[in-house]
C-alpha cells in the first residue's frame, strides 16, 4: 500500500514537464519567502527579548540571541504594576466586551427588522456619529460630568457601541435570518424576546464570536481613554503601564529629570521593550485560535455584500 | 431579560453618579494656629487639620507621592496635609489642557506643572491661577533666596510684574558646556607604533591633548582605513555624536572655525544676541565638515540615530568608536580607561574655541496655585520648606534614611548610604525623590550636600578642557520671559527658522556643502522667514530682563 502510494507519487513527479517543475519550485520559493517575511519579525522579537539590548542596537543580533539575558523579563515581572495592569486589562476586557455585546447584538438585530419604527431615522442618527465627533475636550467634559474621570468604570462603559460593528451585525442578521423563520417561531407562540433569545441568538454564534474578537482586541490594546481618564496607577491597564515605562525619555526633562535619570530610564525601556511585547500579546495569541474558525465565517458575512 | 437589563443599567448609573466632590471653603487661619516665622516648627497646630489637593505628574519609576518618605517627612514637620493626585508624565502631557478646561476638576495646585510662558500668561489673565508674590512674606526660605539672587526673581517674573510660579534651581554650572571630545588612545598608540602617525608620541596621549583640525582629521582617516578593533570588519566609527542633541552634538566642530555655535545657532556675545548660522565661517565649517561626512570620518548615522542607539554603539562586542562627543566617557563606552579627553580642536585660524549652550539651570512654571484654593498661604508656607537646603537636597536625591545616613558628616553635609544590591544609584533616586521645587546652588554644594561623583568628575574635566576655551564674551541666553505678542510672533517664526536651518544644514553635510550662491539664497530665505525680527525679539526681551 505504502509502496503503491510512493509509486504513484513518483510517477506523478516523472510526468511533470520541466516547465511544471520550474513552476513548482518557483511557487515554493515565493511561498517560503513570504512565510519568512511574516515569521522573521516575530521570531526576532522572541530572540531580541532575551538578548543584550546593546547588541540589538548595534545590529549584531540576526538569527540567534546574543549575550543571553533574562533581565528584561526579570525586571518586567518584578514590577508590581505589570501584574495589577494585567488583572485590570483582563477585567476591562471581559466586562467591557460583555457590555459591548449586550448593546451591539440587540441593536444590530433591531435594526435588521423591517418592522422597527423610525428605522431610517435611527440608522442615520447612528451613521452621523461615525463621521462627526465632538472633539476631545467636550468628550472629556462630558465624561467628567458623568463622574467617570478617575473611575475604572469608564474603561468598561465608554465606547460601549461601535456603530460600525452594529452595522456588521445588522447585515449578518438581514442575510442569515429569513423572516419565515421568525413567522414560524411566532406561530409556535414566541414573543419578540423569546424568538430573539431562542431562535436568533443560537444562529448568531459566528457573528457573536467575531464581535467578541473585535471588541476584546480593542479593549486589550486600548490605552488612550485610560491615559486621559485615569490617574490612579492601581486602575491602569497593562498597555498604559507599559507605555509609561517605555515612552519616558522625551517628557522626563519637563518634570525635572536630569541627564542621568533620562539615560537610566532609556536603558530600562530598552531592556524590557521586547519582553513586554511578548508578555502583553500572549493572551491574544492564545485567544485567537479559539475564535478563529468563527472568525472566517463571520467575517465574510459581515463584509457588506 | 428587559428587567434584568434595566436593573443593571440603573445600578451602573447609580454607581457612577454617587461620587460627589465637596467644595472647600476658607477657614480662619488663627483658628488652626497658622504661623510662618519659625521655619522648623509646624505651620499649623493640629496635624492634618488643613489639607490641599495637588496634582503631580510623576516619573514612571517613582513611588506614589503619597508613599514617598521625603514628602511624608515634610508633612510630619509642617502638619499640612497634601492629597497627592499622581498621574504619569505622558498622561499629564495629554491631559493638561483638559484639566484646565474642566473647572470642576481644578486642584488647589499643580506640582511639576511644566507651565510654559504662554500657559502662565493665558491662565493668569483668566484668573485661573493666582499671583504668588503677595504671599512671599509668608515664604521665608524662598524670600531669602530671591533676595540673594535677583536673577532668579527675574526669571520668575511675568511680563505684568507678578510671579505666578515657583522655580526649580539646580546649579552645577554644567549645562552651558555639554560637549567634551574623547579619543581612543589605544588605537592612536597602535598608529604611532606602526609609524602611521609621526606628529605624536605615545607620551602625548593623555588628557588635555591639543590637536589641530588637520591632525585630528589624519587620525580619523587612519581609524577609517585600518581595522583598528581587529575584528576583520569595516565597522569602525572614527567620530560619532548625536546631531543636534542637547549634549554630545556637533557644535564644537563648528566652533573650531571661530563661531560661538550651539544647537540653537544663537548665543549672547557681550549682551548682544548673535546668530551663528548666517556667518561665512559657518558656511566654511559646513563645507569642511561635509567632507568628513563624505569620507566616512563622521558616522553617517549621527543624523538619524537616537541618543540610545549612540550609547549602544560604544558597547559593541568589539569597540567601534574611535572618537566621540559626550559629557563623559563612562556612559558611552565599556572601556573608558582607553579614552582621553582632548582640548577643543585648533581651528584653521589657529584659535582654540568653543561656544556655550543655552540650557537653563533655573526653570519656572514648576508649581502653580489655582484661584479656587482656600488659604493659599498655608499651602505656600508648606511648600516653602522645600527650599530649605536640607529638604532641597532630599527632594532632589532622596530622603535621609533611604539615600542618606541619619547622621551628618563633620562638615555638616549629608552622607550617602550604601546603595542596596540590584539597584543603580539613578534607580534609587528616581524611586525615592520627587524632584521639582528645590534650590541647590554653590552655597548648598559647599555646606549641605555633595554633588554626585559623576557631576564632580564632569566639572573637573570641563574646568580644564572646556571653560577656558569659551569664546570671549559668549554667555548663554538666560531663561528670559516674553510678552504674549512676542510669544505669538516667535511661535510662527522660530520654528520655521529652526526647521529650515535643520533641513539645509543636514542636506549640506550629507551631500556636500553650500556654494556661495546657495548660501546667499539660504540667508535671503531666512531673512524672509523673519530672522531679524526673531533676533530683535530676543534682544528686546533680554534687555527687558537685564533692566
Q: What is the DSSP letter of B336?
A: G
Got the DSSP string for B306-334? -HHHHHHHTTSSS--BSEEEES-HHHH-S
Say if residue A3's pLDDT is above 70. Answer: no
Picking from B87, B95, B308, the nearest residue to A266 by CB comes out as B308
Q: Tell me how close the Cα of B408 comes to any Cα of chain A, in angstroms.
A: 25
B221 with B77, same domain: the answer is: no
CB B291 within 8 A of CB B239: no
What confidence score (pLDDT) does residue B463 get?
Answer: 93
A300 vs A242, residue with greater confidence: A242
Dump pLDDT digits (tens) for B136-184: 999 999 999 999 999 999 999 998 999 999 999 988 888 889 899 999 9
B151 with B208, same domain: the answer is: no
CB of B14 less than 8 A from some CB of A: no
Range of the domain at B246: 180-358+478-546
Mean pLDDT is lowest, of B188-192, B390-394, B413-417, for B413-417
Rounded Cα distance between B162 and B146, Å, is 14
What confidence score (pLDDT) does residue A9 get?
Answer: 54
Over range A190-212, report the average pLDDT: 87
Mean pLDDT, chain B, as a whole number? 88
B39 with B145, same domain: the answer is: yes
The set of cell numbers assigned to A69 is 539575558
Q: Which residues contact B410 (CB under 8 A, 6 or more apart)?
A: none
What confidence score (pLDDT) does residue B53 get?
Answer: 93
CATH topology of domain A73-301: MetI-like fold (1.10.3720)
B241: left (phi over 0), alpha (psi -120 to 50) or beta: beta
End-to-end CA gap in chain B:
76
Q: What is the DSSP letter of B66?
A: G
Angle between helices B185-193 and B213-225 (to 10 degrees): 80
Residue B535 lies in a domain: yes
B73 with B138, same domain: the answer is: yes
**CATH number of the domain to which B405 belongs:** 3.40.190.10
B352 with B366, same domain: the answer is: no
Over range B53-82, report the average pLDDT: 91
CB B238 within 8 A of CB B298: yes
B527 with B390, same domain: the answer is: no
Is residue B57 classed as helix, strand or coil in its secondary structure? strand
- Cβ <8 Å between A265 and B436: no
Name the one residue in this structure whose C-alpha cell is 499629564. Answer: B92
Query: Minimal CA–CA distance to B29: which of B17, B18, B44, B41?
Result: B44
* Beta-bridge partners for B170: B440
User: Which residue from A minimizes the CA distance to B334?
Assistant: A54
B318 with B245, same domain: the answer is: yes
Query: Minimal CA–CA distance to A7: which of B385, B53, A35, A15?
Result: A15
CB interface of A with B, residues 17-46, below 8 Å = none
Residue B332 lies in a domain: yes
Dihedral sign (CA B42, B47, B49, B55): positive
B374 with B285, same domain: the answer is: no
- Cβ <8 Å between B317 and A60: yes
What confidence score (pLDDT) does residue A11 get?
Answer: 53
Q: What is the DSSP letter of B207?
A: T
Mean pLDDT is lowest, of A77-81, B223-227, B301-305, B385-389, for A77-81
Mean pLDDT is lowest, of A121-125, A213-217, B264-268, for A213-217
B14 vs A221, residue with greater confidence: A221
From chain A, the residues in CB contact with B317 under 8 A are 55, 60, 67
B371 with B409, same domain: the answer is: yes
Residue B470 lies in a domain: no
Say if residue B234's pLDDT is above 80. Answer: yes
Q: What share of chain B is helix, strand, coil (3-state, %, to 5)?
A: 45, 15, 40
CB interface of B with A, residues 449-508, below 8 Å = 452, 454
User: Which residue from A minimizes the CA distance to B363?
Assistant: A256
- Cβ <8 Å between A257 and B114: no
Q: Tell me how close the Cα of B327 comes to any Cα of chain A, in angstroms.
A: 10
User: Which residue from A minimizes the CA distance to B455?
Assistant: A260
Over range B41-66, report the average pLDDT: 89
What confidence score (pLDDT) does residue A300 get?
Answer: 59
B144 with B93, same domain: the answer is: yes
Q: Which residues contact B269 (CB under 8 A, 6 or more apart)?
A: B260, B471, B473, B474
Task: Residue count of chain A, please give it.
Answer: 305
Residue B296 backbone dihedrals phi, psi, to 5 degrees: 80, 15
- Cβ <8 Å between B170 and A258: yes
Dump pLDDT digits (tens) for A45-61: 888 888 887 787 777 78
Residue B4 lies in a domain: no
Q: Which of B439, B466, B490 is the last residue of a domain?
A: B439
Query: Minimal CA–CA distance to B237: which of B330, B302, B335, B322?
Result: B322
B223 with B320, same domain: the answer is: yes
Its pTM stands at 0.81
Q: Which residues contact B118 (CB under 8 A, 6 or more apart)?
A: B484, B487
Say if residue A302's pLDDT is above 80. Answer: no
Picking from B94, B112, B317, the nearest residue to A227 by CB comes out as B94
- Cβ <8 Å between B19 and A151: yes
CB A206 within 8 A of CB A296: no
Residue B257 lies in a domain: yes
The set of cell numbers assigned to A176 is 442569515
Rounded Cα distance between A208 and A214, Å, is 10
Substitution target from B10, B91, B432 for chain A, most A beta carbons within 10 A? B91
Say if residue B301's pLDDT is above 80. Answer: yes
Q: Tell me how close the Cα of B358 comes to any Cα of chain A, in angstroms.
A: 15
Dump pLDDT digits (tens) for B242-267: 999 888 899 999 999 999 999 999 99
Sheet with B323-326: list strands edge to edge. Answer: B323-326, B180-184, B339-342
Say if residue B425's pLDDT is above 80. Answer: no
- Cβ <8 Å between A233 and B86: yes
Domain ranges of chain A: 2-69, 73-301
Substitution target from B13, B70, B86, B89 for chain A, most A beta carbons within 10 A? B89
- Cβ <8 Å between B114 and A255: yes
Over range A136-161, report the average pLDDT: 89
CB interface of A with B, residues 218-237, below 8 Å = 227-228, 230-233
Question: To the nearest whole percent, how much of chain A has pLDDT over 90?
Answer: 24
Dihedral sign (CA B320, B322, B326, B327): positive
Question: Is this complex's ipTM strictly greater than 0.90?
Answer: no
Over range B225-234, report the average pLDDT: 87
B328 with B376, same domain: the answer is: no
Domain count, chain B: 2
CB interface of B with A, residues 313-342, below 8 Å = 313, 315-317, 320, 327, 331
CB interface of B with A, residues 117-176, below 8 Å = 168, 170
Amino acid at each position: 500500500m505504502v509502496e503503491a502510494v510512493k509509486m504513484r507519487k513518483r510517477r506523478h513527479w516523472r510526468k511533470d514537464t520541466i516547465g511544471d517543475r520550474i513552476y513548482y519550485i518557483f511557487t515554493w520559493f515565493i511561498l517560503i519567502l513570504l512565510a519568512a517575511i511574516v515569521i522573521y519579525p516575530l521570531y526576532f522579537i522572541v530572540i531580541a527579548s532575551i538578548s543584550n539590548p546593546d547588541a540589538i542596537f548595534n545590529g549584531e543580533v540576526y538569527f540567534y540571541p546574543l549575550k543571553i539575558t533574562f533581565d528584561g523579563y526579570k525586571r518586567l515581572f518584578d514590577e508590581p504594576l505589570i501584574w495589577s495592569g494585567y488583572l485590570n486589562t483582563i477585567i476591562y476586557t471581559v466586562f467591557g466586551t460583555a457590555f459591548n455585546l449586550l448593546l451591539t447584538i440587540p441593536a444590530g438585530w433591531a435594526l435588521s427588522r423591517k418592522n422597527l419604527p423610525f428605522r431610517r431615522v435611527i440608522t442615520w442618527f447612528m451613521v452621523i456619529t461615525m463621521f462627526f465627533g465632538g472633539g476631545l475636550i467636550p468628550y472629556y467634559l462630558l465624561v467628567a460630568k458623568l463622574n467617570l474621570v478617575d473611575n475604572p468604570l469608564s474603561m468598561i462603559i465608554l465606547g460601549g457601541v461601535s456603530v460600525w460593528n452594529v452595522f456588521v451585525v445588522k447585515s449578518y442578521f438581514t442575510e442569515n435570518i429569513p423572516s419565515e423563520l421568525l413567522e414560524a417561531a411566532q406561530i409556535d407562540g414566541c414573543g419578540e424576546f423569546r424568538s430573539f433569545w431562542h431562535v436568533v441568538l443560537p444562529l448568531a454564534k459566528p457573528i457573536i464570536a467575531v464581535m467578541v474578537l473585535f471588541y476584546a482586541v480593542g479593549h486589550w490594546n486600548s490605552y488612550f481613554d485610560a491615559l486621559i481618564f485615569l490617574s490612579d496607577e492601581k486602575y491602569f491597564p497593562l498597555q498604559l503601564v507599559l507605555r509609561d515605562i517605555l515612552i519616558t525619555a522625551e517628557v522626563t526633562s519637563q518634570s525635572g529629570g536630569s541627564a542621568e535619570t533620562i539615560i537610566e530610564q532609556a536603558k530600562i525601556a530598552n531592556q524590557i521593550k521586547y519582553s513586554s511585547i511578548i508578555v502583553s500579546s500572549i493572551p491574544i495569541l492564545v485567544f485567537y485560535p479559539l475564535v478563529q474558525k468563527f472568525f472566517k465565517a463571520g467575517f465574510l458575512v459581515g463584509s457588506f455584500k | 431579560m428587559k428587567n434584568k437589563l434595566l436593573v443593571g443599567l440603573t445600578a451602573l448609573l447609580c454607581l457612577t453618579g454617587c461620587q460627589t466632590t465637596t467644595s472647600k471653603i476658607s477657614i480662619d487661619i488663627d483658628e488652626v494656629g497658622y504661623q510662618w516665622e519659625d521655619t522648623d516648627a509646624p505651620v499649623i497646630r493640629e496635624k492634618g487639620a488643613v489639607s490641599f489637593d495637588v496634582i503631580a505628574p510623576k516619573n514612571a519609576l517613582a513611588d506614589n507621592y503619597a508613599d514617598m518618605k521625603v514628602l511624608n517627612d515634610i508633612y510630619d514637620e509642617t502638619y499640612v496635609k497634601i492629597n497627592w493626585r499622581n498621574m504619569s508624565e505622558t498622561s499629564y502631557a495629554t491631559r493638561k489642557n483638559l484639566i484646565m478646561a474642566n473647572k470642576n476638576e481644578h486642584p488647589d495646585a499643580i506640582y511639576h506643572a511644566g507651565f510654559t510662558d504662554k500657559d502662565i500668561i493665558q491662565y493668569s489673565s483668566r484668573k485661573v491661577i493666582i499671583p504668588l508674590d503677595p504671599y512671599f512674606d509668608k515664604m521665608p526660605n524662598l524670600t531669602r533666596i530671591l533676595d540673594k539672587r535677583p536673577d532668579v526673581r527675574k526669571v520668575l517674573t511675568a511680563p505684568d510684574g507678578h510671579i505666578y510660579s515657583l522655580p526649580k534651581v539646580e546649579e552645577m554650572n554644567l549645562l552651558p558646556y555639554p560637549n567634551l571630545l574623547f579619543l581612543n588612545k589605544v588605537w592612536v598608540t597602535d598608529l604611532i607604533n606602526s609609524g602611521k602617525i609621526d606628529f605624536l608620541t605615545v607620551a602625548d596621549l593623555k588628557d588635555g591633548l591639543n590637536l589641530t583640525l588637520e591632525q585630528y582629521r589624519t587620525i580619523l582617516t587612519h581609524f577609517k582605513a585600518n581595522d583598528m578593533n581587529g575584528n576583520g570588519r569595516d565597522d569602525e566609527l572614527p567620530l560619532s555624536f548625536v546631531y543636534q542633541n542637547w549634549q554630545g552634538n556637533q557644535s564644537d566642530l563648528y566652533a573650531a572655525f571661530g563661531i560661538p555655535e550651539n544647537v540653537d545657532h544663537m548665543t549672547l556675545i557681550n549682551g548682544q544676541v548673535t546668530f551663528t548660522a548666517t556667518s561665512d565661517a559657518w558656511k566654511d565649517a559646513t563645507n569642511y565638515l561635509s567632507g568628513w561626512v563624505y569620507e566616512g570620518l563622521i558616522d553617517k548615522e549621527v543624523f538619524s540615530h537616537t541618543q540610545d542607539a549612540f550609547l549602544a554603539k560604544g558597547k559593541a562586542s568589539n569597540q567601534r568608536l574611535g572618537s566621540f562627543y559626550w559629557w563623559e566617557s563612562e556612559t558611552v563606552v565599556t572601556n573608558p580607561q582607553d579614552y582621553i579627553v582632548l582640548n577643543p580642536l585648533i581651528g584653521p585660524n589657529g584659535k582654540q574655541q568653543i561656544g556655550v549652550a543655552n540650557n537653563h539651570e533655573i526653570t519656572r512654571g514648576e508649581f502653580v496655585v489655582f484661584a479656587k484654593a482656600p488659604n493659599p498661604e498655608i499651602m505656600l508656607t508648606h511648600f516653602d520648606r522645600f527650599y530649605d537646603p536640607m529638604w532641597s537636597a532630599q527632594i532632589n536625591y532622596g530622603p535621609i534614611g533611604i539615600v542618606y545616613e541619619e547622621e551628618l558628616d563633620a562638615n555638616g553635609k549629608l552622607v550617602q548610604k550604601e546603595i542596596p544590591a540590584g539597584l543603580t544609584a539613578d534607580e534609587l533616586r528616581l524611586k525615592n525623590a520627587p524632584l521639582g521645587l528645590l534650590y541647590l546652588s554653590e552655597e548648598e554644594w559647599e555646606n549641605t550636600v555633595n554633588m554626585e561623583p559623576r557631576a564632580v568628575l564632569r566639572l573637573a574635566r570641563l574646568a580644564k578642557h572646556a571653560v577656558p576655551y569659551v569664546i570671549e564674551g559668549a554667555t548663554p541666553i538666560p531663561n528670559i520671559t516674553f510678552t504674549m505678542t512676542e510669544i505669538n510672533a516667535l511661535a510662527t517664526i522660530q520654528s520655521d527658522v529652526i526647521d529650515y536651518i535643520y533641513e539645509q544644514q543636514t542636506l549640506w553635510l550629507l551631500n556636500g556643502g553650500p556654494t556661495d550662491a546657495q548660501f546667499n539664497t539660504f540667508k535671503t530665505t531666512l531673512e524672509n522667514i523673519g530672522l531679524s525680527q526673531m533676533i530683535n525679539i530676543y534682544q528686546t526681551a533680554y534687555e527687558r530682563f537685564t533692566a
